[in-house]
Amino acid sequence: MARRTVDGLMRGGVTHVVGIPDNMSGPLFDEVALHAAIQLVTVTREGEAFAVAAGLWLGGASPIVVIQNTGLLESGDAIRGTAQRMGAPVPVIVTGRGYQKMEQSGVNQDHALTRELLTRPDVDSTALLTEPTFNAWGIPFWRCSAGEDPVAAIARLLDSTQALGIPAALLLTRDLD
Amino acid sequence: MLTVAQLLGPLARYRTNEAVVTTMSVVRPWGILSDSDLDFASADSAMGHAADLALGLALAQPARKVVCVNGDGSMLMSLGTLATVVGSAAENFILIVCDNGEYEITGNQPVPAAGRLDYSGVADAAGFRVVYRFDDAGAWSTEVPEVLSVKGPTFVHVITESGTQGPIGRSPAEPARYLQHSLSDWSKIMRTALLESPEY
């Protein structure tokens, strides 16, 4: 699947993958590292990925950011003040930590964010906060869950982001291996 | 110790087709010295993200030198970017840090470890290929051509004087042309210049 995904990125004209790997996106990073046609830029903090990507776009490249949703929560002002404020159509793949746990716990993003819910050990609050954060920050997003084809979803993300002219995201809650 | 004018004057004099990214206290002074479409003000943007944005630009434009004139407070906000620069091995990237020990724009409050943190030492330890440190205007002026031509990544630590620059906005009333446009509009102008004007 990671190989198919990288092929899809190449077909979509992606020149740089910028981000930090996690267990879900690790196979994608490994695969990108094998391809000379796409440059891998590993950063030290997720907010940095958006500034690097904005600079790449400014210089004529076509980057995609790949981060975990924990890193999304860290990235607010970097997204707002660089790619979004510049009107840079930077597509973002956000891997969704905590979604399985959230589903197993029988809760979802529609539940009130009470102290009880946010501190429950069987619920990963990262998943609870991811989609409200996208909405609060004006980042259009789509979800790709188990059973859905990530290659097709990424192709749609690339097209939609170009049309929107601002960063937009694909929330990936399935593995790529 | 250099004034901002002593730092930027020689840079403007020797600059040819390099892209220049500025932020914080040097944004307005640079915009007075230079009127190039290849200047980018990281203003009305995100503090701490000038260096990483400039790195992206350098990676997209490997045949062109990209200079970032960063502040010490901004550098501290994303010190990890030093590792990202070294990891990317961008030979065309020149990162200048103005070390005046303060958050000048917000009223000259001291940055953490002001006067004690050795930025050039940190950059050297991080693995920058070339590292300079200047606290003398004459030495800087003499070395600028070499700084702009040497194979990087290059880090330039400049000890600068305290200044009086205030908050930076974007409006048609700004004397610097790159502040007369929104960040989005200027990004289009600069991107077009980079992609469609080979004379740059």
Residues A103-133 pLDDT 10s? 899 998 888 999 999 999 999 999 999 999 9
Residue A116 backbone zone (phi > 0: left; psi -120 to 50: alpha; other: beta): alpha
Residue of A nearest to B77 (CA): A48
Is residue A120 assigned to a domain? no
Residue in A45, A53, A77 closest to B56 by CB: A53
Residue in B46, B83, B188 closest to A78 by CB: B46
How many separate domains does chain A show?
Answer: 1
Is residue A163 assigned to a domain? yes
Is residue A40 assigned to a domain? yes
Q: What CATH number is associated with residue A140?
A: 3.40.50.970
pLDDT the model gives residue B199: 57
Question: B interface mutation test: which of A52, A67, A166 has the most B CBs within 10 A?
Answer: A52
Q: Does B77 touch chain A (CB under 8 A)?
A: no
Residue in B45, B190, B194 closest to A85 by CB: B45
Q: What CATH number is associated with residue B83?
A: 3.40.50.970
Question: Closest Cα partner for B178 from B30, B59, B75, B78?
Answer: B30
Subunit contact B188:A87, Cβ cutoff 8 A: yes
| Full residue range of the structural domain in which residue A164 is found | 2-97+131-172
What ipTM does this complex have? 0.97
CB pairs under 8 A between A and B: 117
Tell me what the mean pLDDT of segment A38-48 comes to: 98
Is residue A115 assigned to a domain? no
Residue in B78, B188, B195 closest to A60 by CB: B195
Is residue A54 assigned to a domain? yes
| Full residue range of the structural domain in which residue B142 is found | 4-196
pLDDT the model gives residue A109: 83
Q: What is the pLDDT along chain B (200 residues), one digit of tens a residue?
A: 999 999 999 999 999 999 999 999 999 999 999 999 999 999 999 999 999 999 999 999 999 999 999 999 999 999 999 999 999 999 999 999 999 999 999 999 999 999 999 999 999 999 999 999 999 999 999 999 999 999 999 999 999 999 999 899 999 999 999 999 999 999 999 999 999 875 56
Residues A60-119 pLDDT 10s? 999 999 999 999 999 999 999 999 999 999 999 999 999 989 989 999 888 899 999 999
pTM of the model: 0.97
How many separate domains does chain B show?
Answer: 1
Subunit contact B80:A45, Cβ cutoff 8 A: yes
Question: B interface mutation test: which of A15, A41, A48 has the most B CBs within 10 A?
Answer: A48
CB atoms within 10 A of CB B110: 12
Residue B2, classed as helix, strand or coil, is: strand
| Nearest-angstrom CA–CA distance, B7 and B4 | 5
